Structure 1
Amino acid sequence: MSPLWRDQIRIGLSPSHVALLRFGKGLKPRLTAKVAVACPTGADATPWSSALTALDGLLSKPEWQHADASVVVSNGFARFQLLPWNEDIAGEEEQRSFARHKLATVYGDSSEWEIRIAEGNAGTENLACGMRLKLLDSITACCNKHGVRLRSLQPYLMAAYNRVRSELAQGNIWFAVTEPERVCVMRLDNGAWRSIHCRSLATDNPLAALVTVLEREQQLAGLDPQTDTTVLYAPGISAASLAAISKTKFKLVAPSSESNPDWRSDPQFAMAASA
Structure 2
Amino acid sequence: MSLSSPDNALALLPGRAVLRASGAGPREQVAGEGWDGAMAGLRALLDKAHPRGAIHVVMSHHFARLLLLAPPPLRLNGAEMEGWIGGRLAELYGVEAAAWRAVWQDTPPGRPVPVAVMEAAQFDSLLGLFKEAGLRPGQVEPWFATAWNRQRRVMAGRSGWFALLEPGRIALARVEGRRPLTLRVAQGGPEPMKDLAALLTRESLHGGVTGQGELWLAAAGVEAPVSGNLAGCAIRPLLPAGAGVEGMLP
CA deviation map 1:215-267 (0-9, x unaligned) = 2222221212x542221122342225x65x7553111113xxxxxxxx53441
Aligned to 2:138: 151
Distance of aligned partners of 1:103 and 1:173 in 2 relative to their CA distance in 1, 3 Å threshold: farther
Contact 1:18–1:36 at 8 Å: present in 2 too? yes
TM-score (ref. length: structure 1): 0.77
Q: Following the alignment from structure 1 to structure 2, what is the Cα–Cα distance between the partners of residues 87 and 149? A: 34
Contact 2:173–2:184 at 8 Å: present in 1 too? yes
SS in 2 for 1:150: strand
Tell me which moved more, 104-113 or 134-143. 104-113
Distance of aligned partners of 1:156 and 1:94 in 2 relative to their CA distance in 1, 3 Å threshold: same
* Rg larger in structure: 1
Q: Which amino acid in structure 1 is aligned with residue 233 of structure 2?
A: T
Aligned to 1:55: 42
Distance of aligned partners of 1:9 and 1:195 in 2 relative to their CA distance in 1, 3 Å threshold: same
Identity of aligned residues (%): 21
Q: Following the alignment from structure 2 to structure 1, what is the Cα–Cα distance between the partners of residues 27 and 138? A: 20
Aligned mate of 1:200, from 156, 163, 187:
187
Aligned to 1:20: 19
Aligned mate of 2:218, from 212, 233, 255:
233
Q: Which amino acid in structure 1 is aligned with residue 244 of structure 2?
A: P
1:161 aligns with 2:161: no
Distance of aligned partners of 1:52 and 1:220 in 2 relative to their CA distance in 1, 3 Å threshold: same
Q: Following the alignment from structure 2 to structure 1, what is the Cα–Cα distance between the partners of residues 218 and 181? A: 18
Shift of 1:105: 4.9
Q: Which amino acid in structure 1 is aligned with residue 10 of structure 2?
A: I
Aligned to 2:63: 77
TM-score (ref. length: structure 2): 0.84
Distance of aligned partners of 1:86 and 1:54 in 2 relative to their CA distance in 1, 3 Å threshold: closer
Contact 1:120–1:193 at 8 Å: present in 2 too? no
Distance of aligned partners of 1:101 and 1:79 in 2 relative to their CA distance in 1, 3 Å threshold: farther
Deviating above 6 A after TM superposition, structure 1's stretches of 4 or more consecutive aligned residues are none
Contact 1:81–1:102 at 8 Å: present in 2 too? no
Contact 1:81–1:103 at 8 Å: present in 2 too? no
RMSD, aligned CA: 2.6
Q: Following the alignment from structure 1 to structure 2, what is the Cα–Cα distance between the partners of residues 197 and 219? A: 14
Aligned to 1:116: 103
1:213 aligns with 2:199: yes
Distance of aligned partners of 1:91 and 1:58 in 2 relative to their CA distance in 1, 3 Å threshold: closer
